[in-house]
Amino acid sequence: MNPKKIVITGGPSTGKTSVIESLEKMGFTCLHEVIRSMTLAEKEQAGLESFVINPIISVEDPIQFNTQLLQQRIAQYQSVTGSNKDIVFFDRGIPDVLAYMDCFGQDYDETFTEACKMFRYDMVLIMPPWPEIHVVDSARFESYEESLSVHECLQNTYRHFGYTLHSVPKGSVEERRNHILNLLNPE
C-alpha cells in the first residue's frame, strides 16, 4: 500500500512548520524540510555565522546545492513507498526546488522538470504569506516582500505541473490543522 502524499508548502514564515509539528503530535507521519540541515552544513563549510540571503543564491555552487536538494527530496518521497501509513505529510515538495530557482533567476535542466513529472503528490496545500507572523532569522532569510514573490513562484510552479492548490487560511495552528484534516476527510 502506498500512502496518500500531501505537500504543505508556502513562502518562508507562513506557519508550515508549526502546523506540521501539530499534525505529527497527532500521530501523522511528517517528513521535515531537508534544506535546514543542508544550509547548516554550507554555513559550516564556508565558515559563516549565517547567510544574509537565501542559501540557494549565496552558496559557492548553487546548481550543485539545488541538485543535492532535489536528490534529498526525491529520497524523502521514495522513502514512503510501500509504507503502511494512510497519509504522509511533506514539508515542501520536489516542485519547491524549481519554484525557488525560478524565483531567484537560476537556470536548471530537464533533470529538475522530469523529477516533478515523475514523482507526483496526491494533494498540495499552500500557506499564504502572513505579515503578522513573518520573521527573518537564521533559518528564514527572505524579507516579507521576497516571501510574496516566493509564494507566487510556488503557485506558478505547482500549477505548471498540473496541481490544484488548496489554500490553508490564516488562523491558529489548531484551526489550520483542522482545516487540513477536513480537506482530507470531508463529511
Highest-scoring range by mean pLDDT, 10-14, 41-45, 163-167: 163-167
pLDDT score for 44:
56
Average pLDDT, integer, range 31-60? 60
Q: What is the DSSP string of the chain?
A: --PEEEEEEESTTSSHHHHHHHHHHTT-EEEPPSHHHHHHHHHHHHT-S--SS-HHHHSS-HHHHHHHHHHHHHHHHHHTTT-S-SEEEEES-HHHHHHHHHHTT----HHHHHHHHHS--SEEEEEPP-TTT----SS----HHHHHHHHHHHHHHHHHTTPPEEE--SS-HHHHHHHHHHHHS--
CA gap 168, 163 in Å, rounded: 15
pLDDT score for 2:
86
pLDDT score for 53:
45
* pLDDT tens per residue across span 54-101: 555 556 788 888 999 999 999 999 999 988 999 999 999 999 999 999
pLDDT score for 145:
78
pLDDT score for 115:
98
Its pTM stands at: 0.86
What angle, 0 to 180 degrees and rounded to 10, lies between the N-to-C axes of helices 173-184 and 16-25? 70
pLDDT score for 51:
44
Amino acid found at 159: R
pLDDT score for 134:
53
* pLDDT tens per residue across span 97-148: 999 999 988 889 999 999 999 999 999 999 998 767 656 665 556 676 787 8
Give Cα separations from 109 to 17, 153, 180 (angstroms). Answer: 30, 18, 34
Residue with cell 546548481: 63
pLDDT score for 34:
83
Instruction: Count Cβ atoms below 10 Å from residue 48 Cβ, excluding itself.
Output: 12
The answer to whether 8 touches 67, Cβ cutoff 8 Å, is: no
CA gap 120, 138 in Å, rounded: 31
Walk me through the domains of the chain, giving residue ranges and CATH numbers: 4-184 (3.40.50.300)
Examine the pLDDT at 45 and tell me if it is beyond 60: no
CA gap 70, 66 in Å, rounded: 6
Residue with cell 524523502: 76
